[in-house]
Amino acid sequence: MTTLLQIKDLRTFFYTPEGVVRAVDGISYDVKEGETVGIVGESGCGKSVSSLTMMRLIPQPPGKVLSGQVLFEGSDLLKVDEEEIRRIRGHKIAMVFQEPMTSLNPVLTLGDQLSEAMVLHLNMSKQAAWQRAAELLDMVGIPDAGRRVQDYPHQFSGGMRQRAMIAMALSCNPKLLIADEPTTAVDVTIQAQLLELIARLSKESKTAVIIITHNLGVVARYADWVNVMYAGRIIEAASARDVYGDPQHPYTVGLLLSVPRLDEPRKVKLLPIEGSPPDLVAPPPGCYFHPRCRFRVDVCFREYPPLELVANNHWSACWVAKEAPWKTAS
Amino acid sequence: MEDRILVDIKGLKMYFPVTSGIVWQHKVADVKAVDGVSFFVRRGETLGLVGESGSGKTTTGRCILQLYRPTAGQVFFEGKDLCTMKSGELRHMRRKMQIIFQDPYSSLNPRMSCGAIVGEPIKIHKLAKTNTEYRDRVKELLETVGLNAYMADRYPHEFSGGQRQRIGVARALAGDPDFIVCDEPVSALDVSIQAQIINLLEELQAKFHLTYLFIAHDLAVVRHISNRVAVMYLGKLHEVADRDEIYARPLHPYTKALISAAPIPDPKVEATRERIILVGDIPSPLRPPPACNFHTRCPIAIQVCREKEPPLEQKATDHWVACWRA
Ligand SMILES: Nc1ncnc2c1ncn2[C@@H]1O[C@H](COP(=O)(O)OP(=O)(O)OP(=O)(O)O)[C@@H](O)[C@H]1O
Ligand SMILES: Nc1ncnc2c1ncn2[C@@H]1O[C@H](COP(=O)(O)OP(=O)(O)OP(=O)(O)O)[C@@H](O)[C@H]1O
Ligand SMILES: [Mg+2]
Ligand SMILES: [Mg+2]
């Protein structure tokens, strides 16, 4: 598979009255054509900011992109002019946001919104685009789509709006879809429906997908590759099978141990990770995870570990990853 | 676990009026948030309550505590019907029933110190005779939930989400309750913090002989913490059973779909796992489908499901289900 997107050393800070928030602090990863990449990490670790940075959607100020390259089809998205990035957004790269109402225009019908991008980017006639809009709504499971293209967003239920968003995102056959999954509890059955829909449609159109989530379980089924983020950085990266089957960072190990699983016998007691994630205004010295780490050694207090290859195509930012003490610990 | 029933609800209904009009408000419809729900909670157990958003879980919990006065039905607490109680008597009962909220950010008054928040129930119910006794009790409560006593003077914004939820737990414990409604107490917390709070709730249950109604979305968390599990859909109870029984032998197609949609963090397991993906949306609570209200999304619905509402029937020991196909 060829590389579709290359992200190099992305760094975005926010300058707030409380201090500098190191929201994204030097992350790099690739997305191959047609591949599904999961970005997993807890609330506030920089998942959304990293993808908004790629799409040049960071409000500046208070935000500032300090470094980075986002290479896509021969150009650096952080350098191209405003017109070019607007052409790429919504056409070559589409996004499904956490809150569907913020990305649907309340005063336009769904037909208008869906067809607008197709007229603009695909040179379709207005009539053909409306026709296609109805097909797309039908494809994402909106009943009676031919009539409902004339509806306004508020006439749709929350789940339908989310599906309409997916239809809109895929309307121009993007090369890449970025799906930022809601962190608040969505209904499990609706969530399963949406993810299943994204997986099916992306497979059919060979669209690469970045799924952003705080829930390790969610991406296990869909991702080919997983990047685990903690406090603004990627701390582990590998194929989904390797991340879940043979985790190489104590944070990932801890997360997997802390969640109850339906396929395993019920545990008497859960094994939590103690403490809480660091404040990104004043992160601790050394490895950001060391205050919570069961396996820390002296160097962890002083120096941040680099993201290094620790096994076949498996990356980890941990000073003791090579010894993997969690394998022998109880 | 004792076999005595602590909370027993019968035919509980909570309808919220939907009004229209600017000058003359008139009722146009009812949201039947809870529509004839009956179940019980045994003393010392945890009853898990699951179901989609808007299925009426929170409303059920609030009706039990009489934070909403139900439209119809009975709520027996220690054998006494709370719905017919006068407010004076109810105030006395309230100490024994508490709630922990989902959102640790909005559920704490930002202008009150952590100590004042935790101490409020002690003052309301006059549980401390002297100032020293009050302060000792607050200190003890904070330590019980894993916070430091010196944190009493801090304000909510100075705490992390997990710590705020601990404050909420301490507040719920302050009146020395018998029963706590835990309304999605971990949903808003970071994944790495959730297990801390779940363990805390379990420790406290053992220590103080607490009874929980545990409302949650996460089916794996519910299996971990519950002794029995109840499943709601659109204001109605569709299945209630012993925990091991319901996970091993779910009888309702909705319960089956919920369990199968719960993700397992392992691609190898997921690769071979069958999933039941429900089609369609949750119907509007203003116009719930007639007969079995799940029939519009049910993969195995037949004619009778569209015509008659199935009763909640016992199918095995400690296993009730409302489904014509079960
Ligand atoms: N406009 C802003 N001004 C100041 N700080 C911001 C702004 N946007 C984001 N941040 C901060 O940047 C950090 C990363 O935020 P981000 O939204 O990327 O988190 P996330 O990983 O997407 O979390 P969630 O899972 O909750 O969506 C957070 O600490 C957040 O408070
Ligand atoms: N105070 C109220 N006034 C009017 N309608 C209400 C009120 N509270 C709840 N409802 C409605 O009652 C129904 C049940 O809501 P409830 O909050 O009990 O659901 P829930 O199962 O707790 O959902 P969630 O999982 O989203 O918390 C919903 O349709 C809701 O919109
Ligand atoms: Mg986000
Ligand atoms: Mg609720």
A277 shares contact with chain B (CB less than 8 Å)? yes
Query: Is any Cβ of chain B less than 8 angstroms from the Cβ of A18?
Result: no
Which domains, ranges and CATH numbers included, belong to chain B?
2-96+206-321 (3.40.50.300)
The bound ligand whose nearest atom lies closest to the alpha carbon of B217 is 2
Q: B263, A217 in Cβ contact below 8 A?
A: yes
d(CA A40, CA A161): 24
| pLDDT-based confidence at residue A182 (cuts at 50, 70, 90) | low
Nearest ligand, CA of residue B33? 2
**Contacts of residue B185 in chain A, CB cutoff 8 Å?**
none
| Alpha-carbon distances, residue B113 vs A260, B218, B296 (angstroms) | 34, 32, 49
**What pLDDT score was predicted for residue B38?**
97
**pLDDT, position A231:** 95
Task: Give the start-end residues of each E strand in chain B.
Answer: 5-20, 26-42, 46-50, 72-77, 80-81, 97-100, 179-183, 211-215, 228-233, 236-242, 313-316, 319-321
Q: Which one of A215, A220, A272 has the shortest CB-CB distance to B199?
A: A272
Give the pLDDT score at A328. 85
Sign of CA dihedral B86, B88, B92, B98: positive
Long-range contacts of B307-315 (CB under 8 A, 24+ apart): B312/B38, B312/B237, B312/B240, B315/B251
Would you place residue A154 in the very low, low, confident or very high pLDDT band (cuts 50, 70, 90)? confident
Report the alpha-carbon distance of residue B158 to residue B110 in Å, rounded: 10
Ligand nearest to the CA of B287: 2
Closest ligand 2 atom, residue B60 Cα: 18
pLDDT mean over A138-145 = 82
Look up the ipTM and state it: 0.84
Question: CATH assignment of A1-82+217-287, given 3.40.50.300, 3.40.309.10, 3.10.129.10, 3.40.718.10?
Answer: 3.40.50.300
B171 CA to centre of ligand 1 in angstroms: 30
Q: How far is CA B198 from CA B42, B48, B148, B179, B221, in A?
A: 20, 13, 19, 16, 8
Closest CA to A162 of A92, A98, A107: A98
Name residues 160-189 of chain B within 8 A of A (Cβ): 160-163, 184, 187-188
Query: Residue A89 carries which DSSP code?
Result: B
User: What does chain B come to in residues?
Assistant: 326
- Cα–Cα distances in Å, from A109 out to A138, B143, B231? 16, 56, 37
Chain B CB within 8 Å of residue A268 CB: no
A24 CA → ligand 1 middle, Å: 9
Compute, in degrees rounded to 10, the torsion defined by CA atoms B217, B220, B224, B226. 40
Nearest residue to B48 via CA among B182, B178, B168: B182
**Distance between A119 CA and the closest CA of chain B, angstroms:** 29
CA B210 to chain centre: 14
Residue B46 in contact with residue B114, Cβ under 8 Å? no
Structure tokens given for B132:
């020293």
Residue B62: nearest ligand to its CA? 2
> For ligand 1, atom 19, which residue shows the shortest CA distance?
A44
Choose among B320, B315, B292: nearest CA to B304: B292
Report which ligand 2 atom has the smallest distance to the Cα of B51.
Answer: 21
In the block, residue with structure tokens 């859909």: B233
- Going by alpha carbons, the residue nearest to atom 6 of ligand 2 is B16
Confidence grade of residue A268 (pLDDT, cut at 50, 70, 90):
confident
Residues of chain A in contact with residue B196, where contact means CB-CB under 8 angstroms, are 272-274
Average pLDDT over residues A198-205: 86
Q: Which residue's CA lies nearest to atom 5 of ligand 1?
A: A14
Residue A289: the pLDDT is 97
Residue A141 at interface with chain B, using a CB cutoff of 8 Å: yes
Question: What is the rounded average pLDDT of the residues A254-259?
Answer: 92
Put simply, whether B205 touches A (Cβ < 8 Å) is: no
Per-residue model confidence as pLDDT tens digits over A26-70:
999 999 999 999 999 988 899 989 999 999 999 989 999 999 999
CB-based contact, A298 to chain B, within 8 Å: no
Q: Which residue ranges have their beta carbon within 6 Å of ligand 1?
A: A 14, 16, 21, 23, 41, 43-49, 59, 62-63, 183, 214, 280
**CA A173 to CA A118: how far, in whole Å?**
10
**Sheet strand arrangement including A208-213:** A93-96, A176-180, A208-213, A36-40, A225-230, A233-239, A314-316, A308-311
pLDDT in tens, B48-88: 999 988 899 999 999 999 999 999 999 999 999 999 999 88
Q: Which residues contact A246 (CB under 8 A, 6 or more apart)?
A: A311, A314
pLDDT for A204-245, tens place per residue?
Answer: 888 999 999 888 888 898 999 999 999 999 999 999 999 999
Q: Which residues of A touch B282 (CB under 8 A)?
A: 157, 159, 187, 190
Chain centre distance of CA B77: 16
User: A1, exposed or middle or buried, with CB in 10 Å at 0-12, 13-18, 19+?
Assistant: exposed
Q: Chain B contact for A199, CB < 8 A? A: no
Candidates A159, A192, A292; nearest CB to B261:
A192
**First-to-last C-alpha distance (Å) of chain B:** 29
The model carries a pTM of: 0.89
Per residue in B193-246, pLDDT tens? 889 999 999 999 999 999 999 999 889 999 999 999 999 999 999 999 999 999
CA distance A120 to chain B (A): 31
Among all residues of chain A, which has the CA nearest to that of B258?
A: A189
Q: Residue A261 and residue B266: Cβ atoms within 8 Å?
A: yes
Q: Do B53 and A187 touch (CB under 8 A)?
A: yes
Q: Which residues, at least 6 apart from B278, have a Cβ–Cβ distance to it below 8 Å?
A: A189, A193, B254, B257, B297, B299
Write out residues 214-253 of A within 8 Å (CB-CB) of B: 214-218, 220-221, 223, 240-241, 244-245, 251
Q: Which two tokens stand for residue A205?
A: 């159109």
Q: Pseudo-torsion of CA B191, B195, B201, B205, nearest 10°?
A: 150
In the predicted structure, residue B21 carries a pLDDT above the cut 70: no
| pLDDT band per the 50, 70, 90 thresholds, residue A185 | very low
Are A11 and A25 in contact by the 8 Å Cβ rule? The answer is: yes
Amino acid at position A304, single letter: Y
- The residue whose C-alpha atom lies closest to atom 17 belonging to ligand 2 is B58
Instruction: Tell me the nearest-neighbour CA distance from A172 into chain B, angstroms.
Output: 25
Looking at A145-159, B6-20, B226-240, which range is the least confident one?
A145-159
Let me know: does A6 contact A71? Beta carbons within 8 Å: yes
Strand partners, A70: A7
Question: Starting at the edge strand that comes first in sequence, how are the strands of the sheet with A63-72 ordered?
Answer: A19-32, A3-16, A63-72, A75-76
Q: Give the mean pLDDT of chain A.
A: 89
Ligand 2 — pocket residues by CB below 6 A?
Answer: B 16, 31, 33, 51, 53-59, 285
Distance from CA of A240 to the nearest CA of B (A): 7
Q: CA A89, CA A174: separation in Å to the nearest integer?
A: 9
A128 CB burial (10 A radius; 0-12, 13-18, 19+)? middle
* Winning range, highest mean pLDDT, from A90-104, A279-293, B181-195: A279-293
Of A189, A218, A260, the CB nearest to B223: A260
Question: In terms of CA atoms, which chain A residue is nearest residue B285?
Answer: A157
For the stretch B197-207, pLDDT in tens is: 999 999 999 99
State the Cα–Cα distance between residues B138 and B151, nearest whole angstrom: 11
Best of B58, B191, B197 to disrupt the A interface (most A CBs within 10 Å) is B191
Query: What is the pLDDT confidence band of residue B5, given thresholds at 50, 70 and 90?
Result: very high
Of B270, B279, B282, which is closest to A220 when you measure between CB atoms?
B270
Domain boundaries, chain A: 1-82+217-287
Alpha-carbon torsion B241, B245, B248, B253, what sign?
Answer: negative
Interface contact flag, A259 B220, Cβ < 8 Å: yes
Asked whether the predicted pLDDT for residue B2 surpasses 60, the reply is no
Element (H, E) at B282: none
Residue B278 DSSP label = -
pLDDT at A169 over 50: yes
Give the closest residue to A181 by CA, choosing from A208, A215, A133: A215
Residue nearest to atom 11 of ligand 2 (CA): B33
Q: Which two tokens stand for residue B99?
A: 């709630």
